[in-house]
Amino acid sequence: MAKRFDLLVFDWDGTLIDSTGAIVAAVQAACRDLALAEPTAAQVRQVIGLGLTDALRRSTPDLAEHRVPQMIERYRQHYLAHDHELRLFDGVSELMAELHGAGYLLAVATGKSRAGLRRSMMNTGLERYFSATRCADECLSKPHPQMLLELLDEFSLPAERALMIGDTTHDLQMAINAGVAGLAVTYGAHPAEVLDALAPLARLHSVAELTQWLRRQA
């Protein structure tokens, strides 16, 4: 079967690496440090995928603007204390190797910073599989389409030859805004019913299901 897509773009946190719990814990700990009302896990999960500043502002609405740098510093301290412990979801390494070997162009579009993505890629050993990456400190935050539009331009591809794969509505809305197909995974930050509202091509409950879908449909 001929390939339906040439470029597969993956979100990072909650899609390839199991980091949702660590992000939630770091935001809550930072709030405690600054004596702010602690958001629920569900409130933090809702903003995962956005750029860090946007995510912290939305998850802690009582955060005064002049305290945003403090919040960022405290969040990073807590998150980085456990960053090296985070692991890929089962099957991700094998999937990336298979897709790379099959000749797909692979890319990442993430709400992480460039430094954060570089560190995580080195920790997980996935860097060798990706031809391009886009980060929130270099582009407008999701769901703005800039990340995907830049990737399409870099590879001289039309939108219909690309697929965005992610675990949040921010990923799927970015795909819609860029005219790119979206594929949802439900084992990350956002629940299935919320992802369904944005009509992805499919919603998949594990990396094993994602692997099978890509083999058959991509």
Catalytic residues: 11, 13
The one-letter code for the residue type at 174 is M
Distance CA 25, CA 95 (A): 28
Cα end-to-end distance, the chain, whole Å: 9
Alpha-carbon distances, residue 77 vs 22, 74, 113, 204 (angstroms): 12, 5, 15, 33
Give the phi and the psi of residue 26 in degrees, each rounded to 5: -70, -40
Distance CA 162, CA 187 (A): 22
The one-letter code for the residue type at 17 is I
DSSP 8-state assignment for residue 87: -
Distance CA 170, CA 178 (A): 12
